[in-house]
């Protein structure tokens, strides 16, 4: 299930996530619990969930620590990680830019 979530939400947009979710449900639906399969094929629900939750999450201090841990684990993916993070948490753009420029 973790891999299904990772694949589904590792996208550039809610629409792309909905397309991946539908594809996973189609290709692997028989191997997924029914409630998960039905959620994956509900395109509008996937898009609504992602859209309504973008920019929300833990406190900024906790996000900073998580970001540092992620970057330490995947240093070769820094540009992609920072770009994705800024899309997810648009309010973090200023400190992320400072961090990326070595000022934080």
Q: What is the pLDDT of residues 20-45, one digit of tens each?
A: 888 888 888 888 888 888 888 888 88
Does the pTM of the predicted model rise above 0.95? no
| 43-65 per-position pLDDT tens digit | 888 888 777 766 555 677 787 88
**Confidence (pLDDT) at 76:** 94
Residues 46/40, Cβ–Cβ less than 8 Å: yes
The domain segmentation of the chain, as residue ranges, is: 2-53, 60-100
CA separation for the pair 4, 87 (Å, rounded) = 21
Residues 4/17, Cβ–Cβ less than 8 Å: no
Helix axes 14-28, 2-9, angle to 10 degrees: 140
């Amino acid at each position: 299930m973790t891999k299904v979530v990772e694949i589904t939400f590792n996208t550039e947009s809610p629409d792309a996530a909905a397309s991946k979710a539908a594809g996973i449900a189609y290709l692997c639906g028989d191997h997924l619990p029914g409630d998960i399969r039905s959620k994956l094929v509900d395109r509008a629900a996937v898009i609504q969930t992602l859209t309504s939750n973008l920019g929300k999450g833990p406190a900024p201090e906790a996000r900073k620590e998580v970001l540092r841990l992620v970057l330490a684990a995947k240093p070769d993916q820094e540009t992609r990680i920072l770009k994705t993070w800024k899309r997810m948490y648009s309010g973090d753009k200023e400190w992320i830019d400072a961090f990326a420029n070595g000022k934080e």
